[in-house]
Amino acid sequence: MNILVTGGAGFIGSHTLIELYAAGHTAVVVDNLSNSNPVALKRVAEIIGIESIPFHKVDLRDHERLERIFEEHRFNACIHFAGLKAVGESVEKPWEYYENNINGTLVLVDVMRKHGCKNIIFSSSATVYGDPAEIPITENCPKGQCTNPYGWTKSMLEQVLMDIQRADPEWNVVLLRYFNPVGAHQSGRIGENPNGIPNNLMPYITQVAVGKRKELGVFGNDYPTPDGTGVRDYIHVVDLAAAHVCALQAIARRCGIGIYNVGTGHGYSVLDMVNAFIRVNGVDVPYSIKPRRAGDIATCYCDPAKAKAELDWEAQYGIDDIVRDSWNWQRQNPDGYPAV
């Protein structure tokens, strides 16, 4: 299939491009580079072994330019990664998050339907479950109250896409609810490249390990978990990328609406991650216990059985692979991608 990949220069999109080409698909990337670097696309092309990835530096909200891209290319489906994703920033700038994520998706869907491309895979998030009613979280678990505008954009866009599919059954909509994406491509050439101080655990750990930050703050050790620190379902980004290729097969089978948790089904605490990182990589990660971070929940991991049963997808990589590949990326690229 020929796939439109919005946000393809970003962390998850860049890894997904590799899996798409490995499975025999082709892709065209649309990204405004607001949170990414074109060097990622250059490296992706090198890994795949092609000259370049077709790329348009375009903002999804630019209706006219998106139209022109659809006139130039014929797409079988869209994998829609583009969006703003920083939880804390979304609390400070709610308008910007709603405007970018929701308008961007509405424009995209409008142009898609006008051009008869009615297949979309949407990057949703475990955050739509709020403080989950049950652990492990299945797709039957009710959606909850999000604690920030970012989360609400995901929850609302799930609803928008489902309503559009119900009104026009020609659509196939796959909602992938990612748990905690981490790790990097085994080559160490592409990985997560956060701007400024990382918000998320894994890039913080790797930046401490490489000497860019003094110590990791562990946000709370009094949660009702085995060691008191927060427990999450960390999923290797290469596994996550592969889930999108499997989701394309669901689209080919005309799935209508498909909702899937994408996680490993295993929960690891903050200290499990730190200790695995130290053990596997032989590098120290100084840390100290800090107060809880507002909005955090104690435990979040999924039951990934539905994705296994219906998409024939399951995670292949474990915690040791995750910490090894995260470190391999960070130490080869201590300052992330070079400035362009």
Shortest approach of ligand NAD to residue 19 CB, angstroms? 14
SS3 162: helix
Shortest approach of ligand WQD to residue 144 CB, angstroms? 12
The option from ligand WQD, ligand NAD, none interacting with 112 (CB < 5 to 8 A, set by class) reads none
Does the active-site annotation cover 223? no
d(CA 61, CA 58): 8
The catalytically annotated residue of 21, 97, 129, 150 is: 150
The span of 29-37, 166-174, 263-271, 293-301 binding ligand NAD (CB under 6 A) equals 29-37
DSSP code string of 280-311: HH-----EEEEPPPTT--SEE-B--HHHHHHH
Residues 106-145 that bind ligand NAD (CB under 6 A): 123, 125
Cβ nearer to ligand NAD, comparing 9 with 117: 9
d(CA 280, CA 324): 7
Determine contact, residues 267/137, Cβ cutoff 8 Å.
no
The option from ligand WQD, ligand NAD, none interacting with 104 (CB < 5 to 8 A, set by class) reads ligand NAD
d(CA 158, CA 259): 9
Cβ nearer to ligand NAD, comparing 96 with 168: 96
Q: Under 8 Å CB-to-CB from 229, ≥6 apart: which residues?
A: 218, 219, 220, 221, 223, 269, 270, 271
Report the residue closest to ligand WQD, judged by CB: 230
Question: Which of 97, 170, 106 lies closest to 127, judged by CA?
Answer: 97
Q: Which residues bind ligand WQD (CB under 6 A)?
A: 85, 87, 125, 127, 151, 180, 199-201, 204, 216-219, 230, 232, 270, 293, 296
Determine contact, residues 178/262, Cβ cutoff 8 Å.
yes
Q: What are residue 3's DSSP bridge partners?
A: 27, 77
Q: Under 8 Å CB-to-CB from 295, ≥6 apart: which residues?
A: 87, 147, 148
Number of residues that this document lists for the chain: 340
d(CA 235, CA 101): 23
Cβ nearer to ligand WQD, comparing 209 with 218: 218
The option from ligand WQD, ligand NAD, none interacting with 265 (CB < 5 to 8 A, set by class) reads none
Binding status of residue 35 toward ligand NAD by CB under 6 A = yes
Shortest approach of ligand WQD to residue 15 CB, angstroms? 15
Cβ nearer to ligand NAD, comparing 99 with 289: 99
Shortest approach of ligand NAD to residue 12 CB, angstroms? 4
Cβ nearer to ligand WQD, comparing 58 with 247: 247
Cβ nearer to ligand NAD, comparing 61 with 118: 61
Residues 49-68 that bind ligand NAD (CB under 6 A): 59-61
State the burial class of residue 318 (Cβ atoms within 10 Å of its Cβ: 0-12, 13-18, 19+). Answer: middle
Beta strands in 62-116 (DSSP E): 77-80
Binding status of residue 31 toward ligand NAD by CB under 6 A = yes
Shortest approach of ligand NAD to residue 258 CB, angstroms? 17
Binding residues for ligand NAD, rule: CB under 6 A, are 7, 9-13, 31-36, 59-61, 81-85, 100, 104, 123, 125, 178, 181
Residue positions annotated with a catalytic role: 150
